[in-house]
Amino acid sequence: DVKVTQSSRYLVKRTGEKVFLECVQDMDHENMFWYRQDPGLGLRLIYFSYDVKMKEKGDIPEGYSVSREKKERFSLILESASTNQTSMYLCASSSAGWPSRGYTFGSGTRLTVV
């Protein structure tokens, strides 16, 4: 069964901490994405990567960075966590070219910044 695995389901961090969210996929997908989901705002794209060491900003990259050192792993980094980064974070992957079935998502990480 193909999978996108996010390392933590729930995280509580303090304001100002550096936070790492990890995502691993086992489908040999080229593309990987980080979204956040907030009520009334839907899913908003933070960053994506279409190849190892390649990254592109999404719609809301401020306060975030990413790392993709290996094809299967895509990390989201909150450089200095703030309370407005409290959210559900979703990682997804897709194959190169046109993904007719769209993304495969992980189960999400619920991050609370206090």
Partner 1 sequence: DQQVKQNSPSLSVQEGRISILNCDYTNSMFDYFLWYKKYPAEGPTFLISISSIKDKNEDGRFTVFLNKSAKHLSLHIVPSQPGDSAVYFCAASENAGGTSYGKLTFGQGTILTVHP
Q: Which 20-49 residues touch partner 1, going by CB under 8 A?
A: 31, 33, 35, 40-45, 48
Nearer to partner 1, 7 or 95 (CB): 95
Nearer to partner 1, 48 or 74 (CB): 48
Question: Does 103 participate in binding partner 1 (rule CB under 8 A)?
Answer: yes
Binds partner 1 by CB under 8 A, chosen from 53, 62, 83, 101: 101
Closest CA to 110 of 90, 92, 88: 88
Nearer to partner 1, 14 or 39 (CB): 39
Closest CA to 111 of 86, 76, 74, 77: 86
What residue type is assigned to position 2 of the chain? Answer: V
Task: Give the interface size with partner 1 as a residue count (CB under 8 A).
Answer: 32
With CB under 8 A as the contact rule, which of the stretches 11-19, 60-68, 75-83, 100-108 interacts with partner 1? 100-108
Question: Does 9 participate in binding partner 1 (rule CB under 8 A)?
Answer: yes
The alpha carbon dihedral of 14, 21, 45, 66 has a sign of positive
C-beta separation of 29 from 43 below 8 A: no
From CA 58, how far away is CA 35, in angstroms rounded? 9
